[in-house]
Amino acid sequence: MNNYKIKVNDEAESKEAQELFFALGAVWAQSKKASFNSDPMSFIYFNGSSIYYGHDDENDEDWFLSSSSGQELTLPQLRDLVAQSKAKSIEFLEPQDDGTYKLVNWTCMSCPPENFIEVPDEAELYVYWPHDKDYHFQSGQGFYEDGGWNLCSFSVEEIKKGDAGAEILWSREPIQEQGLISGADALRALAEKKNVQCSIAGKNDWTVDILTITPYYFIGMGSGQFQFRLKPRTIRLELEIPACGKNYKHGQLIWILNSLEPNEYCSVILDESDELPAYWWETEEEIKQVVAAFRGGIKA
């Protein structure tokens, strides 16, 4: 990115110039922060990633006038530069401490950190598939791989509902928690001795002891600070399926479950360095029976 410099005649111009440089991704060279600096200054320099300032004295004036200090801009020119950069912004996912991702719009005029992930056009979700130990962007009925969209066994809506077994790490649209009930309904359910769970709103942590929550948070002015739901019930599936393969031989064609395939299974020949999957079958007929059993058991 080019180096730039600008003269500022008062605090108002200084503040605007700083904000415009921040919009280009700049931070102060010393503090590494993108926050307004009220120190008196006559010149601001931008080296492509950081800004620093100079005073109205002979040394700083000579440096400002030198060609090595960068291209001189006026405030209108700097505004245009920022407008152009916004028009070229690209979406990236920024990793968060909890393992999820946050969407950020990054200007093409500076490079994002290496751990940022570029978001392809039309992407709605970024998910982790535990079975395949793989990460994919999802859109509609497709997943993104090798620069294009491919057909996926599960749609975005099915993934959001939890039907696909994928962990959602980012969603363009907020995901509505399933099965929430109002504070009033939660109180009624408790009176009927039903098992009600409670979480701080938006935290999705259902371990909060509901008996410590006062009525103020159920139906009073504090309602909305907690979320309530009936404790989810689990069902036990007993399926009759062919036994997994046992005596694997190197180079053997095996069949495994794969949620990314239209039929939800595929065949593979493992390399010597590949780890043998925990669950595999020797024939396509066997894997077909496994898939059919799972589908039938879950629907039932």
pTM above 0.85, yes or no: no
- Kindly state whether residues 156 and 200 are assigned to the same domain: no
- Kindly state whether residues 82 and 96 are assigned to the same domain: no
Give percent of the chain above pLDDT 90. 21
Whether the pLDDT of residue 265 is over 70: the answer is yes
**What pLDDT score does 75 carry?**
92
- Kindly state whether residues 103 and 118 are assigned to the same domain: yes
Confidence of residue 281 (pLDDT cuts 50, 70, 90): very high
At 97, phi and psi to the nearest 5?
-65, -25
Provide the domain count of the chain. 4
Please give the residue range of the domain that contains residue 267.
253-299
**C-alpha angle 163-166-172 in degrees, rounded to nearest 5:** 95
pLDDT tens digits for range 195-238: 999 888 766 778 888 888 888 888 776 677 888 888 877 666 67
**What pLDDT score does 68 carry?**
60
Domain boundary among 134, 154, 171: 171
Residue of 161 and 266 predicted with greater confidence = 266
At 267, phi and psi to the nearest 5?
-105, 150
- Kindly state whether residues 57 and 131 are assigned to the same domain: no
- Work out the average pLDDT over 266-278: 85
The residue ranges of DSSP E strands in 74-175, in sequence order, are: 90-95, 101-106, 117-118, 125-129, 134-139, 142-145, 148-151, 167-171
Domain boundary among 87, 107, 126: 87
In a domain, 224, yes or no: yes
pLDDT tens digits for range 128-182: 998 888 999 999 989 999 888 998 888 888 888 777 888 889 998 766 556 788 8
**C-alpha angle 194-196-202 in degrees, rounded to nearest 5:** 165
Residue of 30 and 299 predicted with greater confidence = 30
**What pLDDT score does 42 carry?**
86
